[in-house]
Every structure is written in structure tokens, then in C-alpha cells.
Amino acid sequence: MKLQQLEYVITIAQEGSITAAAKKLYQAQPNISIALKELESEIGMQIFWRTPNGMVLTPEGEEFLVRSKEIVESMHNLESDYAKKDNDGVMIKIAAPRSPYLAAGIGMWINTISDKERLSVHLLETHPHRVVEETSSGKADIGIMRIPATQAAVFASQLESRKLICRTLNEFSMKILMKADHPLAKYTDVPFEELRNYVEIVHGDDELNTFGRNCINPDYDTDTNRKLVYVYDRGSKMSLLNTIKGAYMWISPMPKQAIFGEGAVVRECSFAKIKMRDMLICKKNSENNKLIKDCMDYITVFTAKVFE
């Protein structure tokens, strides 16, 4: 029995299918199917019923899931706790949304600890639900969630059930990043209807309609007339922004020093009516860890300066 197999079981139960679990874990579907069959054969028990509507836990599987969660969480906590006992080095893992200002804040914090003899900082840029999973499981020491402010109460309940604490960093509306010579750069408030004439660069692992309706405006919609380029990493997005004529992208606010080169500008778009909220999260038993506390405090102060 391997820890990875237990993590597969937990994710399949959460997602309801092997296909969805594979997508969330960035694994090939056959690998997860084989691992699950090997595990069921090893323990002599069926964990899931395979149904037309997805994977359903058997009664024995329900009990197995509970114990699997306990084991996985304990292992990650053990790994995390002992990794931080090296007084001459620093190891920390952070899960966060793709955000120029957050990346800048984390980078500035790293400058404060870069004199350590050994330094290991892991930054996973991902979506809010995975941030919660990574932090609650102990894979991430700190999580930064980006959610619509109106959904804060729902997420607060989820965090409480997972024994996570949170603090609000700030609230904002999404903005538009484009090159300074973009035809729409002349506007201080870009008309939304004008954007459909230009190429939008979006994250390929975000469902566009969901992102638009949840993060920009409830009336946001896509149609066959939209011009879209899907990208799967932030570095490529910036390269394409500089290369594709008339390209633009939606971004969170950023510190002035983090603007990507002199040729890029940020513009308001009043169509972006939804207030987004960034929140720091960590496990309750981690809030007294000096390294984690220092990092969270630094990002909080840095964010306040960005939004002042």
C-alpha cells in the first residue's frame, strides 16, 4: 500500500470520477485506474462501485476513506514538521493563484531570508479549490485563495471544517493588461464591447465562462465571435501578449514596479463589477510556526502597500 494510492482514493471520492481525479492531480487516467485496482486487490476489498454516474464509495470504502485521510494528513504533517527543524535552512511550500502582485510579494519575502545557508521555496500556482486541498492536506504550508467576495461565507465554512484559519488580504476588481500601443490603451476605462475585436489570452486550465461569470461580471458570456488563445503557463502568456497584435488579458492589480516592461499598461474596465477577495490560509496548528507567520505577515503588509 502506497501513500500515493491513498491520495488517489481521496481525490476520486472528492471528484466523483477517475477522469476528474486525473485532471485534478495532473495524472494520466490509466495510471490512476491501475493504481486503484492494485490497491483493491491488495487489501481484498472493493472501495468504489463503478456506476454510470461515476465512482461511488462502498460502505467499506467509506471507512477506508476516513482512515486514508487521517494517514495522508499525518504523513504530510510529519514531513512538514521535521523539514522545518533545520535551523540553518528554510523550507516552505506555498499554493497561490496566478497573480503578479502575489508573486512579487513572495519574491520580496524570499529576499529577507535569502542569506540562509539552505533555502527551498516551492510555489504552486493553481485554482482556489486546489489551494484548499493542498493546504488542508499539509502539502502546502500556506495557501492564498482568490474567490468572489460574495462566496466568502461558503468558503469560510469549508475552511473551518478542514481546520484551516484565514485572513483577508484585500478586495479588488479584475483589470486589463495590454501593450502601451494597443488601440484600446487610449481609454482609462476600456469599453467591454470593444474587447471582442481583439485577441484575449486566457489560462487553458480555467473554464472561460466560469472565470468570466465568477470573477468579472455575472453577465459575462462567450460566443463564436470571441478571439481566444488558451495558454497553460504565465510565462507564455506574457510572451504572447508582446507578440500577438492587439492581445490583452485580465489580471489582478499589481505593484507599479511589477509592470511587465515599459511597453505594458494596465487599464480599468468598469464591466468588471465582481469584487474578488484574496485570503491567506494555513492550518490552525501552523499559525504559531515562526517561518509561516513571518511569511504571512510580510505578504499582508506588502499587499496593503500595493492597494494603498
Band the pLDDT of 69: cuts 50, 70, 90. Answer: confident
- What does 27-78 look like in DSSP terms, one character per residue? --HHHHHHHHHHHHHHHTS--EEEETTEEEE-HHHHHHHHHHHHHHHHHHHH
For the chain, which residues make up each domain, given as ranges?
3-72, 84-171+276-307, 175-267
Q: Which CATH class for the 84-171+276-307 domain?
A: alpha beta
pLDDT at 192: 93
18-25 helix and 3-15 helix, angle to the nearest 10 degrees: 120
3-72 CATH pick, 3.40.50.2020, 1.20.120.1200, 1.10.10.10, 3.90.1300.10 = 1.10.10.10
Grid cell 528554510 is found at: 90
Query: Torsions phi, psi of 39, nearest 5?
Result: -65, -45
Band the pLDDT of 263: cuts 50, 70, 90. Answer: confident
CA dist 231 and 104 (Å) reads 21
Fold of 175-267: D-Maltodextrin-Binding Protein; domain 2 (3.40.190)
User: Taking residues 213-218, what's their average pLDDT?
Assistant: 88
Instruction: Give the pLDDT confidence of 241-259 residue by residue, as tens digits.
Output: 889 999 999 988 776 555 5
Instruction: Give the pLDDT confidence of 176-194 residue by residue, as tens digits.
Output: 999 999 999 999 999 999 9
Instruction: Give the pLDDT confidence of 77-98 residue by residue, as tens digits.
Output: 666 555 554 555 678 999 998 8
